[in-house]
Structure 1
Amino acid sequence: MDVEMNKPGPNGTPGAGFATPAYAAPPPPSTTSTPTQTLGIVLRAVAVALTLISAIVMGIAKETVIVNLYDTTTGELVDTVSVPAKSVQYSAYVYFIAANVIVFAYSSLSMAVSIGRRTTALGISTLLPILDVVMVALLFSCNGATAAITLVAEKGNDNAGWGKFCNAYNNYCGRVTAALVLSMIAAVAYVKLLIFSIISLQKR
């Protein structure tokens, strides 16, 4: 704090006068990234890549199997039928694709904001962790639904009368499983991002 003398003494000599405090302007916000901010950007970039790949892999997952039809009495081949399997045929897989696309779009936008270091200027430094929680919930919910359907496809369910079909659609189920694994890794990345966001908020 600086002090200015604003009243002269007798005969023009410097006097004590009244001192008025002069406050210095606050320093500008730092433009350097902390290790926590840098790690947050990296985790968002990981989520961007994984959710995009997951949505694409799940979206193009399909396979066609040729089924031979035999006469039950003679055992002779009667006909052959093409039976396709597509991810868009199952609502859980459609939800998986939509959820990963939403998380991809949000991750791309939030990463751009974080790289520009405008979270404080835009007043969303406390909003991002809340939206991150929503993304975590979205990823875990779609991954859980997808895992349940995939497990039935691989193991079947005798009580419900659902037969397994991954033994016939190996490539299809393999793509679905790969997309699920990538999306789960993205969900874990968001959980870590939440932890670092909470630590960053506590340090303020």
Structure 2
Amino acid sequence: MAPLDPVAAEAGRGTPVPTVAAAPAVSSTRLPSCILRLLAIVLTLIAAIVMGAAKETITIDVNDYTLQGKAKSTYSSSFVYFIVANTLVCVYSAVCAGVSFLKQSNFALELPIALGDLVAVVFLFTGNAAAAAVEIVAQKGNGHFGWDKVCRYAEKFCDHLSAAIVLSTFAGVAYLLLLVLTMVALHKRSRWM
């Protein structure tokens, strides 16, 4: 039963006052969002470290000569972009997580954070694509250009590349799920405004 109008109650009339339903709590998406953001922080941090640390000294015996070289992730601009993109997304995620924990429910920040999350997804997937393209050439070579398979000589290096790309891809998927949760929360709230 609806509450009585205080003015009507004093006058002796017991007419109920219609009430407006409160907006649903968005806390149902808050915990999964926090978990996904923390997961993205961990995954992007590890991916950037693994890619940044990927290096190996290669020794190739050709006839009577022994050639030595280094395979290092920072020698490729695609891998450097991957490292920078993952580092930026990691820092952005940490800042957003800090703001989220300090300000429990600041609705004014939700749309800008959602747009930032979208930019983070773009950075992650473009970095992954760039790194994966170079890694595929390293694994399979390119007969048209006469490029040999680098991974034949630098297996540890290529394993680090693969691991970093997989971790960053999982971070990208976490961010996609985070965007879906944010859209659901914004949609629920817009229905009640």
So what's the TM-score if we normalise by structure 1? 0.79
1:10 alignment counterpart: none
- Name the counterpart of 2:18: none
More strand by share: 1
1:37 shift after superposition: 0.5
**Across the two proteins, how many residue pairs are aligned to each other?**
175
**Aligned residue for 1:3?**
7
Output the amino acid matched with 2:77: S
| In 2, Cα distance between equivalents of 1:116 and 1:37 | 14
Higher helix share: 2
Which whole-Å deviations, capped at 9, do the CAs of 1:96-120 have from their partners, x for residues lacking one? 0000000000011111122234451
Residue 199 of structure 1 aligns to which amino acid in structure 2? V
**1:34 Cα deviation from its structure 2 partner:** 1.4
The whole-number CA distance in structure 2 between the counterparts of 1:156 and 1:172 is 15
Q: CA deviation at 1:35?
A: 2.5
**What's the offset of the Cα at 1:149?**
0.4
1:137 aligns with 2:146: no
Bigger radius of gyration: 1
The residue aligned with 1:174 is: 159
* More RCO (CA 8 Å, sep 6+): 2
- Structure 2, unmatched stretches of 5+, are 12-21
Give the equivalent residue in structure 2 for 1:85.
71
Q: 1:95 aligns with which of 67, 71, 81?
A: 81
- CA distance in structure 1 between the partners assigned to 2:158 and 2:44 by the alignment: 18
| 2:180 corresponding residue in structure 1 | 195
For residues 134 and 2 of structure 1, the distance between their equivalents in structure 2, rounded to whole angstroms, comes to 52
- Residue deviations 1:98-143 (CA, integer Å, cap 9, x gap): 000000000111111222344516x212111111100000100000
Map residues 25-64 of structure 1 onto 2, 5 A cutoff: 34-64=27-57
Between 1:159-168 and 1:47-56, the stretch displaced more is: 159-168
